[in-house]
A and B are shown apart, each in its own frame.
Chain A
Amino acid sequence: MKLENEDALDNLIICHECYTLHEEIPIKDGTKALCSHCGSVLYRYDSRLVEHGLSLSIAGLIFFILANVFPLVKIEILGHEQFITIPKTVIALFDNGFYVVGVLCAFLIFIFPLMIFLINIILFTLLKLKKGKFFTKELLVLLSHIKPWSMSDIFLISILVALVKLIGYAQIHMGISFWTLILFVLIDLYITKKIHVSEIWMLRKRVFLAQGHR
C-alpha cells in the first residue's frame, strides 16, 4: 500500500473489535459506517456532534449530582428505618475497615464517572470555542485511560440485586437518587455508545484544520 505521508494514515481506520483495516470514506450526516467483516460500528458522522455531546454531558452531570445528594433506597426493617446514598455506601466500607475495597469503589462509582462528565464538558466547550489545541489532546488521552474504569451501570444492577436479596426481610422504598441514577446511567450509556473517542479525535482534527493552525 502506498501513502503520501504519515497524515494520510488518518484516512485509515482499524475496526476496534476485529482489527480489520478499512479506508475512511465521507458519509452522509447522521449515518454510520459499519465494519465489512464483523458488522460493528466503525465511525459516525454527525455535523452537530459538539452540541449533542455538550448538552448530553451537562444533563448527565446534573443527574449525577442529584443522584449523590438524595437517598438511594430506604428500607424499613423491624420498625427501624435506614437509607443509603452513594457516598454513604463507600463510607460504610471505610467504617468497617475495608480500605482497599473502599478506595476501589470510591474511584469506580464516584470519582471516575464524575471525571468523565467533567472532562466531556470541558472538552466539548473548548471544541465549540475552537480553543486549546493541546489541552484537548491531553484531555482526550486522559479520557480514554479512565473510560474503562467507570462502573456506574454495574453499580445500578448491583442495587437491584441487593434489593431482591432483601425482599421478604424488609420493606423497600426507592429514593429520588435511584431514579436520577437510572437517568444518569442511560445518558452515560448513550454517550459511550453514540460518541466514540475516535470520533472526538476526528472532530478535533476537523475543528483545528478549518482554523488553519496547522
Chain B
Amino acid sequence: MIEVNEDDFIRCPVCEAVNIDKSRENICRRCGSSIYKHMRFSTEKSWAYLITAMIAYIPANLYPMLITNQFGVVEGSTIMGGIVLLWEHGSEPIAMIIFIASIFIPILKFLILIYLLISVKYPIGKDKKVNKHKLYYITEAIGPWSMIDVFVVAILAALIHLANVEIVAGTAATAFATSVFFTLLAAHAFDERLIKENK
C-alpha cells in the first residue's frame, strides 16, 4: 500500500500515463521517457526557444514573403502587404485566413506562452479563474496553423514558374518558418507540472 497525495499525480507528456511525482527525476513507468528532469532550469529552455522565435518573427514581417517577377518588373510583398492587397482585391475571407494564421495566431501564442512562463514563477493571476492547462492546450492546438503562409508561398513558387512571370519565395519565408518552428519547440519544452506547483 502506498499513500499518495492527489496533487502528486503527473501525466507523462509522451504516453499520457499517470505517474507519481517523485520530484527529482521522474521516469515514466509505462514508456520510460523522462518527465522533465531539469528541475533547476525549469523555464529557461522554453524561454530560450520563445525568444528565438520572437526575434525571428521581426524579419519575417519586415522582409518580403513573396517576390513576383512580372515581365521584368520585380515586386516584393510582405505578409501584411499581401493581406492588404488581398482585402482590396475583394478576397476578404482569404485575407482573414492569412491574417489569423500569420499575424493573430503567432502573436497570441507568444502572449500565452509569456503569460504561462511568468505566471509559473511569479504569483500573477493566481486568484483569477484561468485554467492554465486549457490555455496551454490551446497553444498546442493552434500552433501549427501558422505554417499556412509558408506552404502557400512554397506552392505558388513551385506553380508560377514561367519565362515572363515568376514567383519566388522571399527572405521572410525562412524567417517565418524558423519562428513557427521555435514557437512549437517552446510549447513542447514547457513543463506542464509547473502550473500545478504554483496554483
Contact surface of A with B, Cβ cutoff 8 Å: 1-6, 9-10, 12-14, 16-19, 21, 38, 73, 75, 77-78, 80, 82, 84, 88-93, 96, 98, 100-101, 104-105, 108-109, 137, 140-141, 144-145, 148-149, 151, 154-155, 157-159, 161-162, 164-167, 197-198, 201
Question: A36 to chain B: closest CB distance in Å?
Answer: 14
The 5 A-B residue pairs with the shortest CB-CB distance, nearest first, are A158-B151, A92-B158, A19-B133, A162-B155, A14-B11
> Do the beta carbons of A154 and B144 come within 8 Å of each other?
yes
Q: How distant is the Cα of A68 from the Cα of B116 in the complex, in angstroms?
A: 40
Partner of A161, one of B3, B30, B32, B97: B97
> Do the beta carbons of B91 and A148 come within 8 Å of each other?
no
- For B32, the chain A residues whose CB sits under 8 A away are 137, 141
Q: Which of B132-150 contact A (CB under 8 A)?
A: 133-134, 137, 140, 144-145, 147-148, 150
* B154 interface residue (CB < 8 Å to A): yes
- For B6, the chain A residues whose CB sits under 8 A away are 1, 21
Residue of B with least CB distance to A137: B31
Given contacts A141-B14, A161-B94, A165-B94, contact A90 B154 (CB under 8 A): yes
Task: Classify the interface of chain A: helix, strand, loop or mixed.
Answer: helix
Q: How distant is the Cα of A9 from the Cα of B14 in the complex, in angstroms?
A: 16
> Do the beta carbons of B137 and A5 come within 8 Å of each other?
no
- For A6, the chain B residues whose CB sits under 8 A away are 2, 20, 29
Partner of A148, one of B17, B178, B188: B188
- For A162, the chain B residues whose CB sits under 8 A away are 151-152, 155-156, 159
* B23 interface residue (CB < 8 Å to A): no
- For B147, the chain A residues whose CB sits under 8 A away are 108, 151, 154, 158
Given contacts A137-B32, A161-B97, contact A198 B16 (CB under 8 A): yes
Residue of A with least CB distance to B196: A19
- The number of chain B residues touching the other chain, given as a range, is 35 or more
Residue of A with least CB distance to B66: A165
Q: How distant is the Cα of A159 from the Cα of B192 in the complex, in angstroms?
A: 35
Q: How distant is the Cα of A13 from the Cα of B133 in the complex, in angstroms?
A: 15
Question: B117 to chain A: closest CB distance in Å?
Answer: 17
- For A38, the chain B residues whose CB sits under 8 A away are 131, 134
Question: A46 to chain B: closest CB distance in Å?
Answer: 18
Q: How distant is the Cα of A198 from the Cα of B13 in the complex, in angstroms?
A: 11
> Do the beta carbons of B161 and A82 come within 8 Å of each other?
yes
